Amino acid sequence: MDNNFILQEQQKDFCHRLKIDSLCACQSDNCYTEIDTIRSFHTTTIVNKLEVLLKDKKNNSDYHNVLSKHFLDRLGENFLQHRYHDLIVSEKRSSSLQGINNSFVIQDNYNFNILVKTALKSDDIHWFLTQEEVNNYELIVFFVSVYDFQSDIKDYPLILAGFLPQEYIKKYITKDYISISDLFYGGGLKGYLLWAKKKQISKYTRLGTFHDQKGEFDLAIHAYNQALTLGEATPNLYFLRGVALWKQGHYRRAMDDFSAVIKLDSNHFLAHHWRGFAHTYFQEYDLALQDYEEEVRINPVSFLGYYKRAFIKTQLGNFLGALDDYRICITINPSFFLVYYNRGFVYLKLKDYEDAIDDYSQALGLNPNLYQAYYNLGYIHQTLGNHSECITAYKNCLRLKPDYEKPYFNLAILQADLGYLQKAIALYDKLLTINPNFIQAQYNRDALFFIRENEGKLLGEYTEYNKNKNKKIPYLVDIPTYNSLIKNKKSID
């Protein structure tokens, strides 16, 4: 059902009760009232201020009418400010005659302007609006005064006649005045103000998301800051700002926002996930593990929760626990290649080479461009002595990433193990063109030159040479290469 229709139907009832003097009155500040009395203290203050502002007009013939008009509007402002002070604030526009009365804005949102118009009670209650007023104010609230301004009256009963949003006036009001029957029932004013405030928050939130998606993270953060100042902080806003802060590189501030989300909603599993990710970045693995534990507790089918927890368990050396989590990951999503790749690494650390080979092969089946998997397969086959498979794996790795240093280094070691010294030297040459500062490669190449030039000499001579090289031995993989470099085999130049 259209909300406007409901308020318009209620307005019909209100207009009927206004005619028979049967309005709803409530003196409690926390309750809605259709009529309230502005007491003498406030009316006297209003008159005194207006007299000061209108002192230059005091001798004009229309002075009383001007004073009366502004006085009635000030009564409405007093009513609105007293009853809705938790949602609006007064904003003084000007001290000139044209801007003598106050306007209002929603708290912390100075782009949503509210105007008050007050008319005298009569058989035909209406208010005149200028086009400027319609254009400049997002909301107009209308009041009716029982009495016109008179010096001998101190207390003024004032009736909240209703309200109209700017967009409704522009779309549906075609005449140059507003009748009381045109209005929305005043009982919906608080709800409308709350909705307008949330709408503005939603606007800034959408704006922040828009900038975030465009990679304009500073603008996104600014928009989220605007939204957070408009009302009660929500977990979603803190979370969105935290993500933008992280992307902008403000890592600790992002963590503070994720913690704020969790403080407001301890079951916000995405906040736990991101904070766990942040702890991982700072190598705070125990804290990261706690967040991922919470994530999978809250959301038992969180694939990424199990995946990240498995990664953390691997970092902490809990390989069996990591294998359990990777198994759950595969149950939830058997098509994510990195699960097989990472589980293959765990099997590798456990020296379960056959299962590691199976997982790396599975990962490559899902992502044939995963050069790291080819490298690790080459490493395993090199460890197991499967030379042909090892060479094939390393070559596939280099086919995908020609500037990857590790395969060149390990292939050179393998070729030297097999006695192909010239091939090994060529591989070291290639490696050193990629990274001239690869010290181990330089030492190994020098050693191979020495062996090639001194084939047939005693082994002890090379041992002395190696001693002079400070016993620099190949590094990077756990392969027993020391003795292989001094095998007395002919090179195939």
Give the range among 70-74, 244-248, 489-493 with minimum mean pLDDT.
489-493
- Kindly state the average pLDDT of the residues 66-93: 87
Q: How confident is the model at residue 106 (pLDDT cuts 50, 70, 90)?
A: confident
For 354-406, the pLDDT digits (tens) are 999 999 999 999 999 999 999 999 999 999 999 999 999 999 999 999 999 99
Question: Are residues 79 and 36 in contact, defined by beta-carbon separation less than 8 angstroms?
Answer: yes
End-to-end CA distance of the chain: 89
CA distances from 17 to 14, 125, 297, 420 (A): 5, 14, 57, 106
pLDDT computed for residue 92 by the predictor: 57
- Kindly state the average pLDDT of the residues 80-107: 73
Sort 486 into a burial class: Cβ within 10 Å, 0-12 / 13-18 / 19+. Answer: middle
Q: Is the pLDDT of residue 112 over 90?
A: no
Q: Is the pLDDT of residue 8 over 60?
A: yes
- Interatomic CA distance for residues 246 and 267, integer angstroms: 21
DSSP 82: H
Mean pLDDT, rounded, of the chain:
87
Question: Are residues 114 and 93 in contact, defined by beta-carbon separation less than 8 angstroms?
Answer: no
Q: Is the pLDDT of residue 476 over 50?
A: no
List residues bridging with 118 in a β-sheet: 143
CA distances from 169 to 101, 131, 172, 225, 304 (A): 22, 10, 6, 32, 51
Best-predicted range by mean pLDDT (95-99, 265-269, 467-471): 265-269
Token pair 């203290």 is at which residue?
A: 41
Give the range among 27-41, 99-113, 163-177, 353-367 with minimum mean pLDDT.
99-113
- Kindly state the average pLDDT of the residues 115-138: 92
pLDDT computed for residue 100 by the predictor: 61
Give the 3-state secondary structure of residue 227: helix
**How many other C-beta atoms are found inside a 10 Å radius of the C-beta of residue 39?**
12
Q: How confident is the model at residue 483 (pLDDT cuts 50, 70, 90)?
A: very low
- Interatomic CA distance for residues 413 and 403, integer angstroms: 18
Question: Are residues 40 and 213 in contact, defined by beta-carbon separation less than 8 angstroms?
Answer: no
Torsion, Cα 370 374 376 382, to 10 degrees, reads: 180
CA distances from 449 to 146, 427, 436 (A): 109, 13, 17
pLDDT cut 90: percent of the chain above it: 69
For 304-319, the pLDDT digits (tens) are 999 999 999 999 999 9
- Kindly state the average pLDDT of the residues 249-268: 97
Angle at alpha carbon of residue 404, lines to 400 and 409, rounded to 5°: 125
DSSP 367-406: -TT-HHHHHHHHHHHHHHT-HHHHHHHHHHHHHH-TT-HH
Q: Is the pLDDT of residue 212 over 70?
A: yes
pLDDT computed for residue 253 by the predictor: 97
pLDDT cut 70: percent of the chain above it: 89
- Kindly state the average pLDDT of the residues 245-272: 96
Instruction: Specify the higher pLDDT residue, 478 or 352.
Output: 352
Token pair 């009365």 is at which residue?
A: 101
pLDDT computed for residue 101 by the predictor: 63
Q: How confident is the model at residue 336 (pLDDT cuts 50, 70, 90)?
A: very high
Domain locations in the chain as residue ranges: 3-184, 403-493
Question: Are residues 104 and 81 in contact, defined by beta-carbon separation less than 8 angstroms?
Answer: yes
For 400-435, the pLDDT digits (tens) are 999 999 999 999 999 998 989 999 999 999 999 999
pTM across the whole model = 0.69
- Kindly state the average pLDDT of the residues 149-158: 89
